[in-house]
Amino acid sequence: MSLSDSIELSISGPINVSISGMSCSDAAEAKCPEMPSAIEREVMSLFEEFRDPLLRYAFSFGIPMHDAEEITQEVFLSLFRHLQLGRSRRNLRGWLFRVTHNLALKQRYKNKRLGDSMDHEEALVETQQDPLPNPEQMVSFAQRQRRLLAVVYALPDADQICLRLRAEGFRYREIAEIVGISLGSVSISLARSLARLMRADDAC
């Protein structure tokens, strides 16, 4: 047998190189971390898109920020279970806000029972104020914000909720589904709230 024949025979069989008892395929598998599932990727994408709006919405119920953050996390855990169970994907945006709405209401009720309160109006004004170059303009802006916030906080709870959902870009029908009231009630609520805000702004 020639040298070339020997080489050909030696490489014609299966090649199985091992590293410390591990085959090449096993080694490659060990180096590659487990990829996230399609549901995990979808939830992560929705988290990036809706985390801040949901956090603002939960905080608008007058609960402390740490509670709002906990609720937001719980909402996305609920979403993960919802999708894992193969439930409806119809209008997931509305679903997220509806779950946030219910959890925030429960948390607010719990905090009231425990006597947990905070100066929510002052905290909200501080987070919403943008720095302005002119000190007089800053004072005027802050006063206007306080007047409008006072009007908002004087509204009934249902009107406040409709107004905040509208500010997040929801349509009237979506607000009705989230809050659990009729479409007509949403229209009346928003018209009443906007009229009060416009009167307060004109008086500024």
CATH number, domain with residue 167:
1.10.10.10
Question: Does 29 reside within a domain?
Answer: no
pLDDT of residue 97: 95
61 or 17, greater pLDDT = 61
Q: Same structural domain for residues 173 and 143?
A: yes
Q: Same structural domain for residues 126 and 114?
A: no
19 has a pLDDT exceeding 80: no
2 or 124, greater pLDDT = 124
Q: Same structural domain for residues 123 and 109?
A: no
Q: Same structural domain for residues 145 and 64?
A: no
| CATH number of the structural domain spanning residue 57 | 1.10.1740.10
pLDDT-derived band of residue 101, with 50, 70 and 90 as boundaries? very high
pLDDT of residue 54: 94
- Whose structure tokens read 């169970």? 85
Average pLDDT over residues 60-72: 90
Do 111 and 67 contact (CB within 8 A), yes or no? Answer: yes
Do 144 and 201 contact (CB within 8 A), yes or no? Answer: yes
Q: What is the pLDDT of residues 104-160, one digit of tens each?
A: 999 998 888 876 445 555 565 555 555 555 677 777 777 777 888 888 888 899 899
**In the listed set 76, 98, 118, which residue is the last one of a domain according to the structure?**
118
pLDDT of residue 53: 94
pLDDT of residue 126: 59
pLDDT-derived band of residue 10, with 50, 70 and 90 as boundaries? very low
Q: Which one, of 12, 9, 101, lies nearest residue 59 by Cα?
A: 101
Residues 47, 180, 65, 153: is their CA dihedral positive or negative?
positive
Domain of residue 168, residue span? 119-204
29 has a pLDDT exceeding 50: no
- Whose structure tokens read 């802050």? 142
Indicate the average pLDDT of the chain: 77
Average pLDDT over residues 4-14: 46
Question: Does 72 reside within a domain?
Answer: yes
102 has a pLDDT exceeding 70: yes
CA distances from 39 to 47, 77, 94, 95, 97 (A): 12, 12, 18, 16, 19
pLDDT of residue 99: 95
Question: Does 20 reside within a domain?
Answer: no
11 has a pLDDT exceeding 70: no
**In the listed set 118, 135, 161, which residue is the last one of a domain according to the structure?**
118
**In the listed set 56, 89, 118, which residue is the last one of a domain according to the structure?**
118
195 has a pLDDT exceeding 70: yes
Question: Does 95 reside within a domain?
Answer: yes
Question: Does 54 reside within a domain?
Answer: yes
Question: Does 45 reside within a domain?
Answer: yes
Neighbours of 48 (CB within 10 A): 9
